[in-house]
Structure 1
Amino acid sequence: MVILYNFQEIYEVCSKTQVLNLPKLKENLPEIRYEDDVVFCTDYSIPSLHLPFADTGIYNFPICESKQLTAEDGDCKVVYEVTFDIKNSSFNFKPGDTIGIIPHNDTDSVNYILEHLDLTSKSDSQYHLSWGTSQNVKLPPHLPVKSSLKVVLTRFLDLRSVLKKLFLLSLSRHTKDERERKVLEYLCSREGSAAYNTHIMNKHFCILDLFTHFKSCKPPIEILLMNLPRLLPRPYSVLNSNLKNPDILKICFSVVELENNRKGLTTGWLENLSRESTIERKLEKLSLKECNGVPIYLRKNITGFSMPEVVETPLILIGPGTGIAPFIGFLEERQYLKETKDIQLGKTWLFFGCRNPKLDFIYEKELKEYLDKGILHKLSTAFSRVEENNGVKYVQDAILQNAEDVAKWIKEGASIFVCGDVKKVAPQVKSAIQNCLIKNGDTEQEATDLLSDMVAKKKYLVDIWS
C-alpha cells in the first residue's frame, strides 16, 4: 500500500483518535445481472432524461472546423473556436443564446475504473438492474435499467464529481488495507471535517483519485452506480448569427487545467475532438472518435440575454476572455442587418480584457474590422499582465477610466450586457458602473435605483458562469 504524504499525515492523526463520529449509512444496492446473449439496448426506469433548460431535443452535430485562438506557446489559457455543421437540422438560434453540450468521459478514465474493479471482461455485456425483494428504493433517474458498464461510465455518470462523505464511508467498507480504510473513515467523520475540506473538497478529489491513492479499495460496481451523480450538460454561448449563415454553429471555449494533470471534462473532450477534426485526421478516420457528432441542444433564453428589438438602442457590451463570445454574434448580426436592410444602428461600445494582447487577445482582428466598418463604435481593453497600460488591468478598471462617457451612454438609454464569471466579473463590473454614475452626479441611492430599474426592464442583462 502507498499512502501519499498528505494522507500519511491524516493516518497519523486518525490512528490516535479512539472513537470517530461517522455518518449513518444505510446501503440499498440493486442486483446486477449480466446478459451476454441478448440484443443490446439502453433502457431507463423513466421515459426520458430531463435536460436542464432545454428548448429543443438533442442533435448530434459534427465538427467541421476548429482553430486555436490563443498563441501556441504562451502563459495563458488555451482558447479554441469550434464550428459545428448544422445543415438541414432546423436548429434555430440567435446571438445571446446558449447551447448545452452533453460530454463524454474519456476512454482512459473509464477503462481505468473497469480494470481496477476487475470488470474489463464484463464492460461490453448488457447488464440488468433490479431490486429483488427491496421495493422501497428506486434507481437514480439518470441510471439506465439496462445498458453496459462501459456505456454508463462513459455517458451517464460524473467520474470527476467530488466524493461526498457517505460515498467515502461506503467505499471504506470495501477497502482491505487497514490504514487506507482508517484514513477514509477519518475523512468522512465529524472529527475529520477540516481534513475533508482540505484534501477532498478543495482538491476536487474524485473516484479516479481515490482508486489511484487507495489501491485496496475495490467496491462492487453497484456502489458506484448508486453514488456517482449524473453527468450533466455544460452550457456554452453561441458565437455567431444564423442570419448570416444558418448552416453553422460556432462556440469558443478555454481549456480548463486541473490538478493531477487533468483538463476540464468537456473542454478537454472538445479539444481532443477538435484536433481529430483536422483535414489529416478526417482523411485518416473519416469520422469523430467515440461518436457521430457532439450531442447538443438549445437552451431556453430565460433571462432575455439577446439584442434589443429596437436596433437604434445603444449597447455597452462587457466580456473579458471567452465572455466576449455572445458579443461577436451580436456584432456579426448587426453587420448583416446593416448590409442587407440598410438600417441605422445604435452605437456599440465593447469592453474586453485578457492577460496579454500578444497572447490571448481573441478576435482582435475581427473587432478592428467592426470598428473600421462602423459596426463597433468604441473598444476599450484591459490587459492584466501588461504593466504599461495606465493601471488598467481588468475591465472594471477600463469602465472606471471612462466613467463620464459610461454614465452619459446610460443616461442616453444604453442597454448593458455583461458576460463572465459569476464571482469575479459580474459583481465588480456592476460596482464599477455604479461608481461611474456616482462620479457624475448621482447619489449612491439614485445609482442603485437606476441599475435596479434597468435590471427590471431588461436593460441590464448578465450571462454568468461559475
Structure 2
Amino acid sequence: MQHAINQTKESEEIPVYSRNNPFQAKVLKNINLNRVGSSKETRHIELSLKGSGFSYIPGDTLGIVPVNEQELVESLLAEMKWDEELVVIINKQGDTLPLREALTTYFEITLLTKKILQQAVEFTDNEALKNLVSIENATELKKYIYGRDLLDMLRDFGPWKFTAQEFVSLLRKIPPRLYSISSSLAATPDEVHLTIGAVRYTAHGRDRKGVCSVQCAERVSVGDTLPIFIQPNKHFKLPESEEIDIIMVGPGTGIAPLRSFIQERAVNRVSGRSWLFFGDQYSAKDFLYEVELEKYQKEGILTKLDTAFSRDTEEKVYVQHKMLENSKELYQWLQDGAHFYVCGDKEKMAKDVHETLITIIEQEGNISREEAEAQLTVMQKEKRYQRDVY
C-alpha cells in the first residue's frame, strides 16, 4: 500500500505541459531545405520532447508560442515616444509587465482588426479614421486592414491621445501558431519535426515578416528552446488498417504531415501501397526531402512518387496536372479503396486538386459531374478523403 502512495506523490510532481503551460523544447536541428538560389526558405526543425510527457500520432499539429520581432517593437515605442520600462497591466487578472516585454512576448502586434480600429477612434481626432470605420465604408475598412499592422495604424491616423496602458488594452494576446508535425514518433522517439516556410513579403511600402516562421528562420539556433504543445487532429490521420492504400498530395510545406505518414508506414512495414504527389517551383532548388523520398521509393515504402516543378518548364505544371496524367491508375486506386489526403494551401491548390479529383472520377467512371461530386462527398463522410488545409 505504501508503494502506491509514493507513486501518486511522484506523479503529482511531474509538471503537466499543455497549451496553457507550454514545454520548453530544445532545438536539435534547424536547417534550410531549399538550395542556393531558391526564392523560398523552408526550415526543417527538430525538437527534443525529452521530459515533456508529450506523445503524438501522424496528422497531429504542434503549437509554438512565438515572440514579436524587436525591430517592430522598437518602431512602435519610437513612434509613440513611450517609455519601454513603463509597467502596464496585460490582462483581466491584473498581471503586469514592462511595456517593451509586453509588446514583445504578450500582445499580437502584427495584425490589425476591425475591432482595434473601431476602438482606436476614441483616441484621435483624425477624420480619415472616423470615416474609415463608419458603416458605409465596410469594404474600404476590410481593404485597409489587409496586410497592415499596428505601426501602420499609428502612423496613418495620428496624432494620438491614448496612454500606453490604453493602447495595450485594445490588443489581444498573441495566439500560438500551429504547424503540421512532419515526423513519426515511432521513427524518431523523443523528437518532433516541423517543416516551416518562412513568410516574408513587402506590402504598403514596408517589408513584413511572419511572426513565428521568421522567428524560427532567423532567431532560433540549435540549443535554444521553443515553448510548444501538441494539438491532436482527429480529421487527418492514417487509415486504421495497414493494408489500405494511400494517395497523398502535398506541394511545398504541405509535405509535412505526409512525411509523418510515410515514416510511420516505413517503421510498421505495412502492406498497403503509398503514392505521393509533390510539387514546388524548381526541382534543383525546391525539392524538399528529395534524398529521403527517393530512398523510400527505392525501398518500396513509397510505391509511386510523382513530382511537379512549376518553373522548370515553359508551361507551368502543378500537382493536379500530374494527377490528370495518371487519372486511369489513380481512379483504380480509389476503386480499390485507397484513402486520399491533401495538405497545403486552401485558397488555390486544395481547390484545384478537389476539382481535378471530381474530373477524374467523372471521366474514368464514365458518370456525370454531379454523380462524381456525390461520390467524393461519400468519400469525405467515410473519412477516405481528408484535407489539412490552411
What's 1:360 paired with? Answer: 286
Q: Secondary structure at the match of 2:232?
A: coil
Q: How do residues 295-374 of structure 1 correspond to structure 2 at under 5 angstroms?
A: 295-303=227-235, 305-338=236-269, 344-374=270-300
CA distance in 1, matches of 2:228, 2:75: 27
Going from structure 1 to structure 2, the CA distance change for 1:310 and 1:167 (only over 3 Å counts) comes to closer
Q: CA deviation at 1:380?
A: 1.1
Query: TM-score, structure 2 length as denominator?
Result: 0.87
Q: Secondary structure at the match of 1:105?
A: coil
Identity %: 29
Name 1:107's counterpart in structure 2.
70
* Whole-Å separation in 1 of the counterparts to 2:101 and 2:57: 34
Any idea what SS the aligned residue of 1:251 has?
strand
The C-alpha deviation readout for 1:192-216, integer Å capped at 9, x for no partner, is: 5454344x123x2221122344563
Q: Determine whether 1:244 maps to 2:187.
A: yes
8 Å contact 1:56–1:298 — kept in the other structure? no
- Aligned length in residues: 369
Distance 1:143 1:242 in 2: 39
Q: Structure 1: how far apart are the matches of 2:51 and 2:40?
A: 34
After superposition, residues 373-452 of structure 1 pair within 5 angstroms as 373-387=299-313, 393-443=317-367, 444-452=369-377
- 8 A Cα contact 2:89 2:165, kept in partner: no
Superposed CA offset, 1:335-357 (max 9, x none): 1122xxxxx42111101111111
Distance 1:433 1:355, change over 3 A: same
Measure, in 2, the Cα distance between the counterparts of 1:163 and 1:56.
24
- Partners of 1:253 and 1:189 in 2: CA distance: 39
CA distance in 1, matches of 2:213, 2:93: 26
CA displacement at 1:111 relative to structure 2:
3.1
1:161 to 108, 111, 122: 111
SS of corresponding position for 2:159: coil
Pair 1:224-2:167 in alignment: yes
Q: CA RMSD in A?
A: 2.4
Q: Cα 1:436–1:392, aligned 2, differ >3 Å: closer, same or farther?
A: farther
Question: Which residue type is aligned with residue 82 of structure 2?
Answer: L
C-alpha change, 1:56 and 1:182, in structure 2 (3 Å) is: closer
Superposed displacement of residue 188, structure 1:
2.2
Amino acid at match of 2:389: I
Residue 318 of structure 2 aligns with an amino acid whose one-letter code is Y
Contact 2:19 2:228 in 1 (8 A): no
Q: Deviations over 1:95-134 (max 9, x none)?
A: 21111111111222223333433432534x4x458xxxxx
CA deviation profile, 1:315-353 (whole Å, cap 9, x unmatched): 100101100111111111221122xxxxx4211110111
Cα distance in 1 between the residues matched to 2:219 and 2:56: 23
- How far off its partner does 1:90 sit? 1.9
User: Is the counterpart of residue 464 in structure 1 residue 389 in structure 2?
Assistant: yes
* Aligned counterpart, 1:268: 214
Post-superposition offset of 1:186:
2.6
Asked if structure 1 preserves the Cα contact closer than 8 Å seen for 2:119 and 2:170, the reply is no
Amino acid at match of 2:211: L
Q: 1:273 to 1:83 in 2, by over 3 A?
A: farther
Partner of 1:93: 56
Unaligned runs of 5+ in 1: 1-50, 130-141, 278-286, 339-343
Distance, in Å, in 2 between the alignment partners of 1:392 and 1:110 is: 41
- CA gap of 1:347–1:209, structure 2 versus 1, over 3 A, is same
Shift of 1:173: 4.6
Q: Is contact 1:406–1:433 with CA below 8 Å preserved after alignment?
A: no
Contact 1:81 1:250 in 2 (8 A): yes
Q: Structure 1 residue 201 and structure 2 residue 145: aligned?
A: yes
More helix by share: 2
Match for residue 379 of structure 2 among 454, 463, 466: 454
User: 1: distance between equivalents of 2:212 and 2:74?
Assistant: 18
2:259 maps to a residue whose letter is I
| In 2: Cα distance, 1:353 partner to 1:143 partner | 47
Counterpart of 1:182, as a letter, is E
Identify which range, 323-332 or 204-213, moves more after superposition. Answer: 204-213
- Within 5 Å, which residues of 2 pair with 1:100-139? 100-120=63-83, 122-123=85-86, 125=87, 127-128=88-89
| Aligned CA distance change for structure 1 residues 121 and 313 (closer, same or farther; 3 Å) | closer
- Deviation track 1:39-87 (CA, whole Å, cap 9, x = no partner) reads xxxxxxxxxxxx9xx789521112121100012322x321111111212
Distance 2:162 2:329 in 1: 63
Aligned counterpart, 1:135: none
Letter in 2 for 1:298: I
Deviates more, 1:393-402 or 1:317-326: 393-402
